[in-house]
Amino acid sequence: FIIIKLPSGLQVSLIIYIGIVADILRISLSLYKL
Residues 1-34: tens digit of each pLDDT: 566 676 777 778 888 999 999 999 999 999 988 7
Within-domain flag for 12: yes
| One-letter amino acid for residue 20 of the chain | I
pLDDT value for 4: 64
Determine contact, residues 20/26, Cβ cutoff 8 Å: no
Within-domain flag for 15: yes
Give CA–CA dist 2/11, Å, rounded. Answer: 11
Number of domains in the chain: 1
pLDDT value for 2: 62
What residue numbers bound the domain in which 32 lies? 7-34
Give CA–CA dist 30/34, Å, rounded. Answer: 7
Give CA–CA dist 15/6, Å, rounded. Answer: 11
pLDDT value for 3: 64
Within-domain flag for 1: no
pLDDT value for 21: 94
Within-domain flag for 2: no
Alpha helices in 1-34 (DSSP H): 8-33
